[in-house]
Amino acid sequence: MTPAIEIKDLHKHFGKNEVLRGITCTVEAGQVVCVIGPSGSGKSTLLRCVNLLEQPTLGKILVEGVEVTDPDVDIDAVRRRIGMVFQQFNLFPHMTALQNVMVAQRRVLRRGRKEAEKVARDNLERVGVGEKADAYPAQLSGGQQQRVAIARALAMNPDLMLFDEPTSALDPELVGDVLAVMRKLAEEGMTMLVVTHEMGFAREVADRVVFMDGGVVVEDGPPAQVIGDPQHERTRGFLHRVL
């Protein structure tokens, strides 16, 4: 089967700063891969390269077999298959939850109002905020806002989801609700590449954990290995600080 994401020797420079220094990593369809590592190690840049929010300097990225680093690629078509969830929820403040989940469906997928509304309500329900459809972001907790953001991504029927520290901006008591939604998605078979500091989630949900440091992959393996029995000193040091 074609992997969902294949990253081959990816390099990314910002000026003279080489932030990614040869990343190779594969996410198979239906897998959950968690990326962990210290701040500044290049995790967000890696994720952003997958849908070309950042332009890679060197190397290849294939999404479902389509080379996104090919200059002739239809990147909008690729992006439509990728849902992305950020640390900051980026909801439109002047729109209700329902409207937030409808807008890209209408504008990008050209869905009719009725269909977009049904899909929006179904997905708000799916992430446990169905009764908040008519609330504005300011009326919602951070955890509810993030779940609306997840519903917004899901409403586009993505084949895979990228999460960049989706719980890092949340009050601790709200983290669990968002992780529960992500866990459910994983159980439903969604392909997910997740940057997270939630080691419990990574340990229980991930098929593989990738530890990055200084723009390279230091360790890549099942959670029981990378988190439970790390082979590298840098991994051990990092885990020691976060666990």
Site residues for ligand ADP per CB under 6 A: 14, 17, 19, 37, 39-45
Q: Tell me the C-alpha distance between 159 and 58, whole Å.
A: 25
Closest separation between CB of residue 27 and ligand ADP, Å?
A: 18
- Radius of gyration (Cα) for the chain, nearest Å? 18
Looking at the Cβ atoms of 39 and 93, the one nearer to ligand ADP is 39
Looking at the Cβ atoms of 44 and 105, the one nearer to ligand ADP is 44
Q: Which stretch binds Mg ion (CB under 5 A): 6-14, 43-51, 135-143, 153-161?
A: 43-51
If contact means CB under 5 to 8 A according to the sort of partner, which of ligand ADP, Mg ion, none does residue 39 touch?
ligand ADP
Residue 159 burial (C-beta neighbours within 10 Å; 0-12, 13-18, 19+): middle
Unique residue bearing structure tokens 């992500």: 182
CB-CB contact of 217 with 224 (8 Å)? no
CB-CB contact of 7 with 162 (8 Å)? no
Residue 44 makes contact with Mg ion by CB under 5 A:
yes
Closest separation between CB of residue 38 and ligand ADP, Å?
A: 7
Q: Tell me the C-alpha distance between 226 and 239, whole Å.
A: 10
DSSP 74: -
Closest separation between CB of residue 45 and ligand ADP, Å?
A: 3
Q: Which stretch binds Mg ion (CB under 5 A): 14-22, 44-52, 53-61, 91-99?
A: 44-52
Interface residues toward Mg ion, by CB under 5 A: 43-44
